[in-house]
Amino acid sequence: MAGIALALLLAGCGAASPPASARPPTNGATSAAPASVQPLSPPVHLKVGVNQTLSESGLYIGLEKGYFRDEGLEVELTTLPSIQDMVPVLATGALDIGSGGLVPAVFNAINRGAGLRVVTIATFYAAGYDPALVARKDLVDGGQLKNYSDLKGKSYATTTANVSVFNMAYERALELGGVSREDAKNVNLSFPDMVTALANKGIDLAFLPEPFATAAVDKAAGVRWRQVGEILPDQPASMWVYSQKLVESQPEAGRRYMAALLRGARDYEEAFKKNKGRPEAVAALAKYTSIKDPALYDKIAPVKLALSGEVPLDKLKSTLEWFKERGALERVPDVNTVAESQFSAYAVSRLGPYR
C-alpha cells in the first residue's frame, strides 16, 4: 500500500525541479555532438527519480547543456532517498527512470514481476576514482594498518549489513589479508556518523564516498587507506533502471534519454580527467547534487561513470549470486532478461566509441 500511495503522490505532485525544456538553451558542450536527428515532436515528458549524487552526473550536465531538450525530452526530476524508495513507483509506471546503488531490492522486485530493466551501469569501482576505504589516521600513522592482514580485529562501518557492494569489497579485502569475516566487526552507520566515529576512534575503518572521505581527511580523522577500485576493480556500483511502461510504450524516448545521458557522462569524464569544460561541469553538479560548494570539486575524487552504457553481465550475475548467498535475494534472475542493451546500443551508434 505504501508503494501505491507514493506512486499516486508522485503522479499528482510533479517535479522537484522544472522540466529541462523550460530552461534557457545552454552552450559550451565538450562532448562530440551525436549524429543529427530530429527531436521528438511533440516532446516526451519523462519522470526521473534521483538522489542527488555524483553517480547521476551525466544527467545533470546533460540538463544544463540542453542535451535532453535537443532530443525532444522534457525531464522532470523527483528526489527520493534511494533506489529502494523508487522501486514501487517504477513498478507502477508513475516513475519512468530511476538511479541508485546496485542493491537486492531492485532484483527482488524483478523476481516478483515488476518488469524493471537495468539499462546501464551508472558507476564502477576503478583505481583513481571514488570511493575509498578510509582508515583512522592514528592507526596508519602508528603502523597498525599497513597491509590487508592488519584488518584482523578491526571494526569497519557500512550503511547496511551484509548486503551492500561495500560489504562485498570489505570481504574481498579480508580475503586478501587472509582474515576471516568472524575476525572483523561490521558496524552500521550513516556516512556523516562514520566521519564522527573515525574522529572519536569509535570505528577503525569505513567505506566513504565523496564528499565524506574528503571530510574525514580534512578533519584529520582518517586517511584514504585503499581505493575500492583496487579491491574490486571494475565492479558495478550503481545503475540506471527503466520502468516496464517506458520500455514497452516509449522505447524511442528511452533511447533518446540514453544518448543525452551518455553525452553528459562523457563531458564529466572530459572535465574531471582531462580538464576540459571543468567550470561548466562543476556549476551543473553544484546546482543539482548535494555537494553545493564548488571548491570541494578540487578536493574530492571523481566517480567512474559508464561512458558507453555498459552492463557487464558476468559482474552483474556474480554480484546477484553474492546477494543470494547472504539471504538478501530470493533467487538470481536471468541477467540476459534483466539487462536491456537496445538503449545503449542506439546511443553509441550515434555518439561513437568514447576515446
Q: What is the DSSP string of 3-68?
A: HHHHHHHHHHH--SS--GGGSPP-----SPPPSP-PPPSSPEEEEEEE---GGGHHHHHHHHTTHH
For residue 11, CA distances in Å to 155, 252, 352 come to 44, 22, 36
User: Residue-wise over 298-315: b if at least 16 C-beta within 10 A, else e?
Assistant: eebbbbbbbbbbbbbeeb
Does the domain made of 38-126+235-351 have the CATH classification 1.20.1440.230?
A: no
Helix %, strand %, coil % of the chain (to 5): 45, 15, 35
Domain pair 38-126+235-351 / 132-231, same fold? yes
Cell of 196: 564522527
Cα torsion through 174, 177, 182, 184, rounded to 10 = -70
Cβ neighbours, 10 Å, residue 32? 13
Question: Under a CB-based contact definition with an 8 Å cutoff, are residues 221 and 191 in contact?
Answer: no
Cα 296 from Cα 215, distance rounded (Å)? 10
Alpha carbons within 13 angstroms on the beta-carbon side of residue 180 total 2
User: Of 233, 266, 251, 254, whose CA–CA distance to 30 is shortest?
Assistant: 266
Distance CA 110, CA 243 (A): 11
Q: Where are the domains of the chain?
A: 38-126+235-351, 132-231
Burial 162-183 (b: 16+ CB within 10 A, else e): ebbbbbbbbbebbeebebeeee
Count CA atoms within 13 Å of residue 90 on its CB side: 31
Angstrom distance (rounded) from CA 241 to CA 331: 19
Q: Is 125 helix (H, G, I), strand (E, B) or coil?
A: coil
Residue 208 has phi, psi (to 5 degrees) of -125, 120
- Give residue-wise pLDDT tens across range 220-272: 999 999 999 999 999 999 999 999 999 999 999 999 999 999 999 999 999 99
Task: Enter the pTM of the model.
Answer: 0.88
Helix (H) or strand (E) holding 217: helix 212-218
Q: Are 74 and 214 in contact (CB under 8 A)?
A: no
Q: For the structural domain made of 132-231, what CATH number should be given?
A: 3.40.190.10
The whole-angstrom separation of Cα 294 and Cα 33 is: 27
Residue 269 amino acid letter: E
Torsion sign across C-alpha atoms 173, 326, 210, 119: positive
User: For residue 37, is it left (φ>0), alpha (ψ between -120 and 50) or beta?
Assistant: beta
pLDDT for residue 159:
85
Residues with pLDDT less than 50, the chain: 1-30
211 and 192 Cβ atoms separated by less than 8 Å = no
The per-residue pLDDT for 355 is 87
Sign of the alpha-carbon dihedral angle for 149, 153, 154, 158: positive
When the pLDDT of each residue in the chain is averaged and rounded to a whole number, the result is 90
**How far is C-alpha 150 from the geometric centre of its chain's CA atoms?**
30
E strand spans, the chain: 44-50, 73-79, 97-101, 117-124, 132-136, 155-158, 185-188, 205-208, 222-227, 236-242, 304-305
